[in-house]
Amino acid sequence: MAEDEVVRDLKKKLTETDGGLGPPTLTRSSSSPTAQGELLFPDVGRARDIAQPGGFRREHLLRQGAGFAAAQQSLLSSLLDPRMQKYFSLEQETDPSQLGTAVAPSGTGELEAASPGHSPGASNLSTVLVILKSTIGGTLIIIPGAFSKTGLLVAPLLLLLVGGIEIYCMVLLVTCVRRIGGSYGEIARRSMGSLGLWAVDVSILLSQIGFVCAEMLYVAKNCNKALTALGIYSSWASETSILLLQLLVVIPMSWIRKLQYFQVSNIIANATVLLALAFLLGYSFSGLMTHGPGVGIESSGPHWMIFAGTVVFSFECINFVIPMYDAHEQKETFAPILVFTLLGVCALFIVFGGVNYAYYGKDTNLVITSNLPEGSQVGRVIPFAFALGSLFNVPLCLFPAAIYVEALCFSNVPKSRNRTWKINRMRTVLILSCAFVAFLGKNQIDAFIALIGSVCCVPLAFIFPVICHAKICHPNWQTLAVNVAVLLLGVILFFYTSASALQQLAALD
């Protein structure tokens, strides 16, 4: 009985190989599977294994166990930054010499599965978690300060406008990938040629470096606040000193090659930041109900263009849309989940910024943790929680940028100890460069974040998606008119917001 099944499976395999268009060519080596050889059908197993006593039950348990493990892996992976998953798998060591498998810039290769067989795609819950993880974080602590410079009425309207347009552009990109497939860079290459591929890759690289700079600033400012609340005013506790001291931690962490080693630190970072944000919102809401609104609340302010750049930075998650779409199990539900989840995030930003600004009024600082009372437990714990979360995020945010640069510089270098240390030195240089850039913007963090948003994120979020959609999907004239308006707005944000941010930074000097 077992031998009959082997012969049947062999005939079926050979027929599929030859397309059923003639007699198959048989060779001795492939006449039948052996006990130690490769399986004809890895997802089924050997027929004689199932035919043994208890074989059907063993096969059923193996199938159920594999599916459960894959589902757990999918949910756990969703807690990591989705921008990472484009470049390497969770257990895999990043190797720039393996272009086309584990590590590849956009359009040069695809990530191979870490294990054979089909694993279930991401569920709706996993997709929502990834979207929330990518948009809700430490950047929220500068939103109330941006509200104070933009106005309690203008800031929510501007946030809805800019955030809504970013969501619209994400949907355009999903439409493109459903039409032709491929990564963001590959879609840009097919739309704009090799220049488009280069532009997308460079923009992603710059945006990731910008995120690293921002996280390093969050560490310095929040840790300085926590130490000040403890009564420590030493020179080594200044923002500049903390910016340098954190290098002792993030440089060795940046040398890590396997993403799985960041699971624990990433979960800690997520948990501390989310709990601290929830506490800040509750603290301000309670104070607002008890003591009433602060003084000097303005409905509009002069720095609305700076706030527009900050919003673009906060919602810059378009480079994760395609990886998450590819991983999502039910493709038709992805776009609605994306839209409604991000609209919820917009609402959260408005509530968080509005409540904190309404409570502190004109005394609202650029970083909201600076408004916590000095000497109190709240003033010590909450800033330290943000500093810890941002510290763990620094090497993780650096990964995509580091992998991209390594793929360009070391793809043809044979694997050796010498190459490993060259990569380590390159990552160290990247971290040091980010620390220097963060130092330049530490005294005007709102203008600094807006500059990153306008220069590094606007092309990815506004300009490239509408060009790709026009080239690939050939929309009707109404949609094309809307896309042209979005394109013009993106160009205005790129130049005018960048100029406003640079002017504000220069005025400080």
Question: Tokens 């309207």 map to which residue?
Answer: 157
pLDDT for the residue 9: 53
pLDDT along the chain (509 residues), means of 10: 49 49 46 42 42 44 41 41 41 46 37 41 80 83 91 93 93 92 89 90 89 92 87 84 92 83 80 89 92 89 86 83 85 91 93 94 90 82 90 86 83 82 91 92 87 90 93 91 94 90 78
**How far is CA 82 from each of CA 165, 323, 324, 341, 432, rounded to the nearest angstrom?**
21, 7, 7, 16, 25
pLDDT for the residue 494: 92
β partners of residue 99? 103
Query: 306 with 450: CB under 8 angstroms?
Result: yes
**How far is CA 385 from each of CA 138, 211, 246, 368, rounded to the nearest angstrom?**
10, 18, 15, 14
What's the half-sphere exposure (Cβ side, CA atoms, 13 Å) at 148?
A: 23
pLDDT for the residue 258: 75
pLDDT for the residue 90: 40
Question: Tokens 């990530």 map to which residue?
Answer: 111
Query: 267 with 133: CB under 8 angstroms?
Result: no
Q: Residue 32 gets which letter from DSSP?
A: S
pLDDT for the residue 17: 46
How would DSSP label each residue in 439-458?
Answer: HHTTT-HHHHHHHHIIIIIH
pLDDT for the residue 244: 92
pLDDT for the residue 416: 82
Whole-number Å distance between alpha carbons of 208 and 204 = 6
Long-range contacts for 196-202 (Cβ within 8 Å, ≥24 apart)? Answer: 196/464, 196/467, 196/468, 197/106, 197/107, 199/459, 199/464, 200/106, 200/460, 200/464, 201/105, 201/106, 201/107, 201/404
pLDDT for the residue 32: 41
Is 128-508 in CATH node 1.20.1740.10? yes
pLDDT for the residue 119: 52
β partners of residue 122? 328
The whole-model pTM stands at 0.75
Residue-wise pLDDT tens digits, 269-284: 888 888 899 999 999 9
Query: 191 with 472: CB under 8 angstroms?
Result: yes
